[in-house]
Structure 1
Amino acid sequence: MTQIGSFTRGADGIYTGTIKTLAFDVKARLVPSDPSTTSEKAPDLRVVVSGVEIGAAWRRTSKDDRPYHSVKLDDPSFAGPIYANLFEGEDGEHALIWSR
């Protein structure tokens, strides 16, 4: 597992931080989605970079009863989608963890 991002959650529910890999280093925001009345599968958060949506996140609970967000990042410049999980650390910071 590799940490590819670090975020802070604001009182408004918006996560702000950075995503860093060998290919890119960007400032990103995870913003709450508009409540969907048409689909239970709609994401809870949208991942936005420079005003462009590049992904989405869904609220989940681990087997250890720990809440986290399952994140999917995708862009035409990527070879394929990136899947990661956003976990809150003990210090209140949130780490975006990628694994294959």
Structure 2
Amino acid sequence: MDDFFDSLHQYLAVLLPPTLMAMAGSLVRFIRLHRSEPFSWGEFLSGMIVAGFVGLVMACFCRGLRLSPWTSSAIIAMAGYSAGQILDYGQELLLKWLERKAK
């Protein structure tokens, strides 16, 4: 059981910081774009969930490119700010790549 908690602690230590950084970027965007509108829990939470996911993907991408922690942090925070757009663009790139591979 200790192995499980050690593994969980290691995963959280790696995955939680980029998730929170991306969610902070999403929070900034939400405040910036919706400050004059009534608060919507659905829009806020969906933005945070998408940002968290994109933050994890970008953290993996940055780690794969061996970028510095400072550069990675900036990229991840900006990715959280633009999470939905980045997810849509990434999907488009992936589908085009898969189409080329299938030929």
TM (normalized to structure 1)?
Answer: 0.25
Based on CA coordinates, which of the two structures has the bigger radius of gyration? 2
Bigger share in helix = 2
TM (normalized to structure 2)?
Answer: 0.24
